[in-house]
């Protein structure tokens, strides 16, 4: 059996102080690796990684990926980019730069180091999909000039760069398309539907649904997502992706709101607001490829995941 230091890697996680990144780092440290977390703290928070600062195998570097990184690592997970409409529309030019310049800088580093690199892409590359559920071979239905384009097209361009570096330079890449993910450490003001509903319910405020509430999403608990990410990174060089990682269970916004009200015991009322421009009407992953390539499928259902997420928000939300 190999000794620990024979299999220990030094791993860079960009965006590591974010919601998903911090959970990924916990898992990597639990596997015995050294982890370098790079984050400019635009949407990530120190609170997500405060529990790690006494860990000798953890290092934090405040850094913006739109600038090159000069570090020595064995593997790279590129998670750096605002992922909620509230944050990525705040500075859309910077959002595009983060996806595109960030990908260039991370890929350049990986090329120099001959390191395996994983791109955290998104289901938003499918836009407002014309096929349902979404499979990896679908090219998408994206508005290139709308208010969400900075994120959607930025991530699509990042995927292009990853595959061009793979074809042109022989770089070992992994591209993972993340569907709606939720869980502890979500930012309470990130504008995502799960955190919005929970915070509003805990405060006894009206729960805001955009449109008539019939639009659907599929919600994946963060632990399941991280497991899929680790399994994809562990595959051989012949597996590049893209691979959908998400929970295929589909719920309307109205159903989600009713679940949250029931689980929080809130007296909140549901109110409706106009649907934002280019908001997808439906979103559901086909995870057949993840099942066949990674032997992965989600194990945590919405009720269980919501309970754990609500407990987290009870501790941080002021009523």
CA distance 239 to 233: 9
CA distance 299 to 85: 28
What is the number of alpha carbons within 13 Å of residue 3 lying toward its C-beta?
2
* 3-state secondary structure at position 264: helix
Tokens of 191: 């504008």
Q: What is the DSSP letter of 49?
A: T
Please confirm, yes or no, whether 151 is among the known catalytic residues.
Answer: yes
Which whole-number Å values give the CA distances from 181 to 8, 29, 134, 220, in the listed order? Answer: 28, 22, 16, 5
Angle subtended at Cα 249 by Cα 287 and Cα 228, rounded to the nearest 5 degrees: 40
Do the beta carbons of residue 120 and residue 178 sit within 8 Å? yes
**What's the CA dihedral at 283, 153, 175, 160 to 10 degrees?**
140
The structure tokens 């992994």 sit at 174
CA distance 315 to 285: 32
Q: Which residue of the set 77, 88, 126, 151 is catalytic?
A: 151
Do the beta carbons of residue 294 and residue 236 sit within 8 Å? no
Tell me: cis bond preceding 133? Omega within 30 of 0 counts. Answer: yes
Closest CA to 5 of 57, 62, 48: 57
Active-site residues: which are they? 151
């Amino acid at each position: 059996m190999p000794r620990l230091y024979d299999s220990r890697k030094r791993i860079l996680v960009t965006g590591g102080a974010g919601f998903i990144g911090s959970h990924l780092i916990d898992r990597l440290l639990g596997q015995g690796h050294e982890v370098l977390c790079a984050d400019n703290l635009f949407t990530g928070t120190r609170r997500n990684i405060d529990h790690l600062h006494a860990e000798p195998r953890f290092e934090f570097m405040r850094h913006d990926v739109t600038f090159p990184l000069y570090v020595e690592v064995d593997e790279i997970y590129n998670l750096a980019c605002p992922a909620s409409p509230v944050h990525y529309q705040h500075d859309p030019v910077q959002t595009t730069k983060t996806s595109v310049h960030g990908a260039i800088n991370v890929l350049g580093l990986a090329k120099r180091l001959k390191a395996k690199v994983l791109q955290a892409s998104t289901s938003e590359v499918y836009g407002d999909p014309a096929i349902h559920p979404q499979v990896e071979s679908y090219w998408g239905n994206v508005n290139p000039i709308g208010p969400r384009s900075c994120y959607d097209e930025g991530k699509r361009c990042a995927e292009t760069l990853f595959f061009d570096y793979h074809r042109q330079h022989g770089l070992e890449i992994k591209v993972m398309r993340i569907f709606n993910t939720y869980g502890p450490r979500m930012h309470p003001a990130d504008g995502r539907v799960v955190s919005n509903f929970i915070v509003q319910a805990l405060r006894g405020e009206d729960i805001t649904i955009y449109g008539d509430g019939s639009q659907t999403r599929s919600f994946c608990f963060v632990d399941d997502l991280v497991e899929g990410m680790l399994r994809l990174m562990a595959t051989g060089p012949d597996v590049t992706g893209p691979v959908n990682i998400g929970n295929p269970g589909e719920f309307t916004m109205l159903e989600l709101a009713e679940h949250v009200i029931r689980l929080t015991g809130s007296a909140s009322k549901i109110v409706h607001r106009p649907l934002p421009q280019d908001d997808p009407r439906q979103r559901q992953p086909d995870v057949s490829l993840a099942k066949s390539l990674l032997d992965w499928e989600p194990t945590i259902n919405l009720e269980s995941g919501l309970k754990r997420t609500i407990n987290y928000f009870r501790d941080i939300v002021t009523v």
